[in-house]
């Protein structure tokens, strides 16, 4: 027969994690309702993430600059994600790692110059 008591710490950990997660989500909502901070008005309920009304025709066209900004953000976010481990391990990887990262950064700089010249960063 299998001894299931060895899984008790994992079960306790899961209950604590779910309890803390629920507390971090629902406790601020409850406190805001009790203290009166929850006052929805038309200005608070307007869309602000995407820049256009969310309840229009799904086939309507919108500006491609939203995609360009998102792609550029992802590219430079990945650059930062590559720079941190590179900086930590630079002593171990030596000059070859340094040269490789300089080539990577030069390619990204060329891409930024190209996007800038094409007007991808201009928002009229």
- What are the pLDDT digits (tens) for 71-101? 888 888 888 888 888 889 989 999 999 999 8
pTM of the predicted model as reported, rounded to 2 decimal places = 0.46
Whether 31 is in a domain gets the answer: no
Whether 114 is in a domain gets the answer: yes
Whether 98 is in a domain gets the answer: yes
Q: Is there a contact between 108 and 81 (Cβ–Cβ < 8 Å)?
A: no
Whether 66 is in a domain gets the answer: yes
Whether 35 is in a domain gets the answer: no
Q: Residue 5 has what DSSP assignment?
A: G
List the CATH number of the domain containing 94: 1.20.58.1610
Q: What angle do CA 122, 109, 88 make, to 5 degrees?
A: 125
> Mean pLDDT: which of 34-43, 60-69, 71-80, 93-102 is highest?
93-102
Whether 96 is in a domain gets the answer: yes
User: How many structural domains are present in the chain?
Assistant: 1
Q: Is there a contact between 72 and 120 (Cβ–Cβ < 8 Å)?
A: yes
- Domain range for 108 is 61-124
Q: What is the pLDDT of residues 1-20, one digit of tens each?
A: 678 888 999 999 999 999 99
């Amino acid at each position: 027969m299998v001894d299931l008591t060895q899984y008790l710490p994992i079960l306790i950990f899961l209950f604590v994690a779910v309890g803390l997660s629920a507390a971090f989500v629902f406790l601020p909502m409850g406190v805001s309702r009790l203290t009166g901070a929850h006052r929805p008005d038309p200005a608070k309920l307007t869309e602000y993430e995407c820049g256009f009304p969310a309840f229009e025709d799904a086939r309507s066209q919108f500006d491609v600059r939203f995609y360009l900004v998102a792609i550029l953000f992802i590219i430079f976010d990945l650059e930062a994600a590559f720079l941190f481990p590179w900086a930590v391990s630079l002593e171990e990887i030596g000059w070859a790692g340094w040269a490789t990262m300089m080539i990577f950064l030069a390619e990204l700089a060329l891409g930024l110059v190209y996007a800038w010249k094409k007007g991808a960063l201009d928002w009229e």
